[in-house]
Every structure is written in structure tokens, then in C-alpha cells.
Structure 1
Amino acid sequence: MSTNNSDIIIDYYSDVLCVWAWIAQHRLEQLEKQWGKQIKVQHHFVDIFGDCELKIPQRWGEKDGFENFGKHVRESAAPFEMATVHPELWEKNRPRSSAQAHLLLCAVSLTNSAEAMAATALRIRRAFFCEAQNVSNMDLLLDLAEEQGSARDSILAALNDGSAIAALMSDLCRAKELGVNGSPTWILNSGRQVLYGNVGYRILNANIEELLKHPADEASWC
């Protein structure tokens, strides 16, 4: 719940391989820039690209599915200047799953600040969308996390003792309970407001503005 004197909590569910979450990244940054400490974004993960080798050929063609999907991703991102996409995305260094990145990020969240986890998630997205790197490779993911200041030993400890996978499973179960079916999904007002997909900045901003105006026991008009 939110009042004029408390943070607006945004539970943000995404898949690191999702182009619409990549497009939404700039809107997320603008919201945080505009509202500062009045909002608190809590990053969570949802399974969209858990098995790329199964999903993409099934939906985009057995022979040339990755090429077709890569073209679709580039065309989707083209109108958005900030959402750079590598010309060989999904054709070069294809990741097999987003789950490795989500697992690594859960480990980072357990051993570092929320800000460190968000920065690492952004670095992983850039490595994939801008550099066409295989972000299902754990060695690469550990290197990227270290770039952002995380200690490799601490991350490995969270991976080895099961706490990272427990955190990821908690995210996936919670996403199912909340009815999160896609990426990105923005959940506000203790689950009362759910915004999904390619949501414009003005809509996101209006929802936050209304929540800040209304007391905790009154529903937002958005």
C-alpha cells in the first residue's frame, strides 16, 4: 500500500532476453530519474525464454526460426532509439536459456544491494542485445557481475548452497500466483494495478502519480 509519505513499490517482472523489456528499460530509468526515492523498483523474473531451442523453432520455423525471430526483434526495436539491437542477434552466440542469467541475478541480489542487482541485469541485457554475447554462459555471467562490483566467491556460494535457485523459484511461483504471463509486467498498489507489455511512459507515470495522490484506503483512478 502507498500513502503520500511512503514509497511506491513497483514489482517489475521481466525476462532478460525479452526485447520488450529491453525497450522498456529507458522508461524504467526515466521513472527512477523523475520520481527518485518516491518509488522503489523491485526486480523479479518470469520464464519466457527458459528453453530457447524448443520455443523459437516451434513458433518461428524449424529451419530458419532463429533468423526469423532475430528479424522480428530488430524490427520491434527499430522505432525505439535507445533500444540498440545487434544485427546478428539470435543468429550469433545464441543463448539456450534466460534461466542462467536469472539464477545469477538472484545470487547477486542475495549478496549485494538491489542497485547492484539492477545494474548487473542491465549489463547482461547490453551484453545480449548490443553485443550479441551468449548470456546463458555462466562464466560470462560471472565476469559481467564482477564488472559491476560483485564478488565472484560470494555469488558462487549462493549458487552452490541452493539459496540462489530458491530465490529464483520463489520469483517464478509468485509470478504464477499474480497471473504474470509476459515480460515486462509492472505491478503496483499491492497487486491492484497490473501493466503488461509495451506500456507507454505517460501511462506508467500517470499510475504512479495517482497512487501518490490517493490515500492508502482509496483506489487509484488509473
Structure 2
Amino acid sequence: MSVKVTYYSDVLCIWAFVAQARVDAIKEAFGRDVAVDYRFVAVFGDARTKIAAAWRDSGGAEGYNKHVMGIARRFPHVKVDPRVWIDQQPASSAGPHLFLAAMRGLEPAAGNAVASGAPSRLESVMWAFRRGFFEEGRDIGRWDVQAELAKPFGVDIEEVSDAVHNGTAFSRLSADYAEAEKLKLEGSPTFVLNEGRQKLFGNIGFRIIEANIREMMREPNVDQASWC
């Protein structure tokens, strides 16, 4: 039986963009022994107001841009548009989260089972959204941009739209946000194991994540808290 790792993130979070390398490393190291369940947390639900308020006395959007670029320079495996958050300020991360939540419900029916180690369609589109914003400076809060980024991966945009309009995508996303609050998550990204007993938040090194997963494999009984 595989170990379940629930991964909460906000697609507009620079730390989640950086942490994708950790997610990839988990998949490479453990293969089918670990199942990553992607969920969303609302950090940039009202992105423009959040940045304007938090950075009002520190340069506003330009100040936040400098902060993000400072983080990016520490991690050579990521590329970030030097004008990020200045030229394009998505109104909310809820839009891309909703699109991805719709995909998450459709993915089993869409035949997206893949070989071990290969990215699923959901993973590919999620990464395309993150890259679209951070690398290419695109407004991924917009539906048309989301659809354009998703189409190359064979996503049926009409099916995604139907899931949005019939409410099922909203239901899934609402459940994500509610569970994040129930777990009292501090933000994005957060790895959750052992039914919420273990929460690894922020810029966590791969070895720490690996140790927690291996402890779960050693003692998979969810009624017993891990000491790792």
C-alpha cells in the first residue's frame, strides 16, 4: 500500500514554485510507493489587495517583486520573469485553482493513468500555470490564459467549463480550502502526512520530507503518530 502525501499549495506562491523540485524528487525516489494528492490553499485569493496592503510601506508591487526575485536568486533551478507581479497582477489564484479542481475530478475519466514517474495531465497543467506566471509573466488568473496553457496537454476545455458551471469544481475547491483551515495550515506549500498529524510547511529540504515518508512506510498504522 502506498503512502499518501497531500500537497497543499497556491499556484501564485513563489515558494511553491521553488518546491516543485521537492515534489519531483519525491516521485523519483519513491515511485508508486508514494501517492501525491494535490490540493489548494488560498494564500492569494485576493492577490492585488493582499500585496497592496502587505507592501504598502515597502514599495507596493515593485517592493514585492524585489522580494520574489530575491527568493528566486537563491534557487538556480527556477527562472523568474524580472517583471513578475509588476506587469501582470492576477486578481486571484482561485481561478486557476478552480480550473485545476475541475481537472482533478475529470482526470480518472479522461484516461490520465500514466507510467510511474511520468507526470499526470493534472501535474503537467499545474506546472504550466506556474511557469506561465513566474517564467513568462502571464496573467494565469484569466480563463482564456488557463485554457491556452492547458490545451497542449489534451485537456477538454468544454468538460472543464461544464465542471465549473455545474458547480462540481466549486465543490472540490471549497473542500480544499475548508480542509486547509481545519488542519490549520500556515500557508503554501505544505506537505501533509499521517492524516494531518505531520505538516511540513515552507522551504523544507528534501531529506526532511524523505525521512518523514520513510517513517510512514516503516509504521503505516495511522492510529500511531510518527516520531520523525
Shorter-normalised TM range: over 0.9
Give 2:62's aligned residue: 67
User: Letter of the aligned partner of 2:207 in structure 1?
Assistant: R
Q: CA shift at 1:218, angstroms?
A: 4.2
Q: Deviations over 1:3-23 (max 9, x none)?
A: xxx111011100000011011
Q: Which amino acid aligns with 1:101?
A: P
- Superposed, 1:15-54 pairs within 5 Å as 15-54=10-49
For the residues of structure 1 that align with 2:30 and 2:43, how far apart are their CA atoms? 29
Aligned position for 1:108? 103
Contact 1:57/1:63, CA 8 A, preserved across alignment: no
Partner SS state of residue 82, structure 2:
coil
- C-alpha separation in 2, matches of 1:215 and 1:53: 43
Corresponding residue of 1:90: 85
**Are 1:219 and 2:228 an aligned pair?**
no
Aligned to 2:184: 179
Equivalent pair of 1:20/1:197 in contact (CA under 8 Å): yes
- Pick which of 193-202 and 110-119 moved more: 110-119
Q: RMSD over aligned Cα, in angstroms?
A: 1.4
What SS is found at the alignment partner of 2:11?
A: coil
Can you give the 5+ residue segments of structure 2 that lack an aligned partner in the other structure?
113-119
Counterpart of 1:219 in structure 2: which amino acid?
Answer: A
**2:4 aligns with one of 9, 20, 35:** 9
Greater Cα offset, 99-108 or 109-118:
109-118
In structure 2, C-alpha distance between the alignment counterparts of 1:218 and 1:171, rounded to whole Å: 25
1:120 and 1:145 in contact (8 A); partners too: yes
Q: Deviations over 1:106-133 (max 9, x none)?
A: 1111212472212111110000111010
1:146-190 CA-to-partner distances (Å, cap 9, x unmatched) read 122110111111011111111111111111111112000110011
The residue that corresponds to 1:3 in the other structure is none
Shift of 1:74: 0.8
Q: CA separation in 2, counterparts of 1:33 and 1:92?
A: 36
Instruction: Go from structure 1 to structure 2 and tell me whether the alpha carbon gap of 1:91 and 1:36 turns closer, same or farther (over 3 Å shift).
Output: same
Q: Report the TM-score, using the length of structure 1 for normalisation.
A: 0.94
Corresponding residue number in structure 2 for 1:76: 71
How far, CA to CA, are the matches of 1:71 and 1:178 in structure 2? 31
Deviations 1:90-119 (A, max 9, x none): 011221111100011011112124722121
**Residue ranges of structure 1 left out of the alignment (5+ in a row):** 1-5
Contact between 2:48 and 2:89, CA under 8 Å: does it hold in 1?
no
CA distance in 1, matches of 2:136, 2:38: 23
- What are the Cα deviations for residues 46-82 of structure 1, in whole angstroms up to 9, with x where unaligned? 0000111211011112794111001100101211111
Partners of 1:98 and 1:152 lie apart in 2 by 19
What is the aligned residue count? 217
1:119 and 1:173, CA in 2 relative to 1: closer, same or farther beyond 3 A? same
Out of 29-38 and 205-214, give the one that drifted further: 205-214
Pair 1:158-2:163 in alignment = yes
Q: Distance in 2 between matches of 1:97 and 1:49?
A: 6
Q: Which residue is equivalent to 1:209?
A: 214
CA distance in 2, matches of 1:105, 1:191: 23
Q: Which runs of 4+ in 1 moved over 4 A?
A: none
